[in-house]
């Protein structure tokens, strides 16, 4: 199916690895013109070059920390009038006892997980409204919907982001600007690779064994972790021409882990 976004300009914040990279690849396959940010230059440039080579898409790397004003200005200078905005970041650290989470931990995480996407939406949605076309997708976390003490720094800010984005979605829907969220469960990404490789080394096991342990413990029905491509495909769908009548939604993509009747 042609998603109808060939040559649409798209910003992907946090697109050099993991689920952001999967989204860049899916949008590039649709011919979108991409502007991709990350803090680390080497991995970013490599990702953009690899995906451009594979898809033939135009992909501009923008080295920037999107949780800062300076970083946000750099990204918006590279692409002042995006049709599409996709936002993600590295997963916040796992948390243990909730009483040990400090105010500084909260503030640092709120900057990148909540306030940055809010600033970007404020900066780009008015232009989308004027032009009569826009798509925004926030990559959050399943923990926004299904709270857990281990995800104290990850779930609550993204629950707030979903609430905010649904409010904005309703306000701008008459202008063909659609705002949706994807809420991932466990996927093989750069951070997950580092985390479970370290755990395997500590336990004298392998990465695959640690992943299987998690799958068995949490009983993931699909019996696997997702790949960034699994999630990227749905991000591209929410960015498509066809997504003109779907807004304010939060799609959980987790291999069936948290399914309920509705």
Ligand X SMILES: NC(=O)c1ccc[n+]([C@@H]2O[C@H](COP(=O)([O-])OP(=O)(O)OC[C@H]3O[C@@H](n4cnc5c(N)ncnc54)[C@H](OP(=O)(O)O)[C@@H]3O)[C@@H](O)[C@H]2O)c1
Which of residues 43, 74, 175, 224 is near ligand X by CB under 6 A? 43
In angstroms, the CA 178 to CA 50 distance is 30
Please report the beta strands in 88-184, taking only residues with DSSP state E, as ranges in sequence order. 134-139, 177-184
Angle at 160 between CA 156 and CA 163, to 5 degrees: 140
Tokens of 6: 């060939």
Residue 155 CB, nearest approach to ligand X (Å) = 9
Which of residues 6, 40, 96, 256 is near ligand X by CB under 6 A? 40
* Phi and psi at residue 38, to the nearest 5°: -165, 165
Q: Does 87 bind ligand X (CB under 6 A)?
A: no
- Of 110-169, binders to ligand X (CB under 6 A) are 112, 139, 141-142, 154
How many residues make contact with ligand X (CB under 6 A)?
A: 33
φ/ψ region of 58 (left if φ > 0, alpha if ψ in -120 to 50, else beta) reads beta
Stretch that binds ligand X, among 97-105, 119-127, 190-198, 201-209 (CB under 6 A): 190-198
Residue 23 CB, nearest approach to ligand X (Å) = 9
* Cβ 12 vs Cβ 24: under 8 Å: yes
Contact residues: ligand X, CB under 6 A: 13-20, 37-40, 43, 65-67, 88-91, 112, 139, 141-142, 154, 184-187, 189-192
């Amino acid at each position: 199916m042609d998603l109808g976004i060939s040559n649409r300009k798209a910003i992907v914040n946090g697109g050099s690895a993991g689920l952001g990279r999967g989204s860049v690849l899916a949008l590039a396959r649709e011919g979108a013109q991409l502007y991709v940010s990350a803090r680390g230059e080497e991995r970013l440039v490599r990702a953009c070059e690899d995906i451009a080579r594979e898809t033939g898409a135009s992909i501009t790397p923008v080295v920037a920390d999107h949780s800062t004003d300076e970083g946000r200005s750099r990204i918006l200078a590279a692409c002042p009038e995006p049709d599409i905005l996709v936002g993600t970041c590295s997963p916040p650290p796992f948390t243990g006892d909730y009483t040990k989470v400090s105010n500084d931990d909260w503030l640092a995480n709120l900057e990148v997980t909540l306030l940055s996407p809010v600033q970007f939406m404020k900066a780009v949605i008015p232009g989308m409204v004027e032009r009569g076309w826009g798509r925004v997708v926030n990559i959050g976390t399943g923990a926004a919907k299904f709270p857990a003490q281990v995800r104290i720094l990850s779930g609550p800010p993204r629950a707030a982001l979903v609430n905010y984005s649904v409010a904005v979605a309703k306000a701008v829907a008459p202008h063909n600007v659609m705002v949706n969220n994807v809420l991932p469960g466990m996927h093989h990404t750069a951070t997950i690779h580092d985390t479970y490789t370290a755990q395997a080394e500590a336990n004298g096991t392998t990465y695959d064994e640690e992943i299987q342990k998690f799958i068995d413990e949490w009983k993931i029905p699909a019996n696997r972790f997702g790949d960034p491509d699994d999630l990227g495909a749905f991000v591209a769908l929410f960015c498509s021409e066809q997504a003109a009548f779907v807004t304010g939604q939060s799609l959980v993509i987790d291999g069936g882990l948290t399914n309920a009747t509705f």
